[in-house]
Amino acid sequence: MSSSAIEVKICGLKTPEAVETVLKNGASHIGFIFFPKSPRHLEPAQAAELAAAARGKAKIVAVTVNADDAQLDEIVTVLKPDILQLHGNETPERVAQVKQRYGLPVMKAFSIRENSDFDVVAPYQGIADRFLFDAKAPKGSELPGGNGISFDWNLLKARQDLGNYMLSGGLNAENINVALAKTGSFAIDISSGVESEPGKKDVHLIDAFFAAVREASNTK
């Protein structure tokens, strides 16, 4: 992967084996989720233990959903992440507060179903350091991400005003080539697409995904 121009973030890691596998494959980012409703939820101390092997090799991302200062204080103190990913309904003002409080880059996630969903991005331009575009959760889901569904990638093809972003939502080894071709993205995020069941990463699926990314990047 080191020769690839594609950044790959594997999110929701919970085991040393999964961390080892994504690092072996050259992941640019690894994500730990702090959201009790998620099957990928960890306590900060658990994440810190897993992150030790990755520090200096991949960017460590702490993913939260509408977290308050107390929760973020604990995560930042214990995990010492490189990036904070805000995956809730955080306002531009909240993003600015988080950046100022911790002095860390912030990636703001947005849920997309149709072109008009991109309209909410503009107020965050120049505040969030990066965007992540995920599919809108299906009705009844309590998870803002990691639902294994995608949005219409053609929507991104026409948008040249979105700046630095990661593509997420429903990616897997079978569709990543099409996703990259349609969006022109150079950064991707995956969680459920490399799991054998919700919250359980499969090292063989991780290997297969990276192989597909390498193949796709060679044709970009």
Q: How far is CA 113 from its chain centroid? A: 18
pLDDT for position 145: 47
pLDDT for position 172: 95
Report pLDDT digits (tens) over 78-132. 999 999 999 999 999 999 999 999 999 999 999 998 889 999 999 999 999 999 9
pLDDT for position 220: 53
pLDDT for position 13: 98
List all residues 6 or more positions away from 54 whose beta carbon is below 8 Å from its beta carbon: 19, 23, 30, 60
Q: What is the largest CA-CA distance in the chain?
A: 46
pLDDT for position 2: 40
CB 141 within 8 A of CB 180: no
pLDDT for position 150: 82
pLDDT for position 219: 63
List all residues 6 or more positions away from 93 whose beta carbon is below 8 Å from its beta carbon: none
Residues of the chain with pLDDT under 50: 1-3, 145, 147
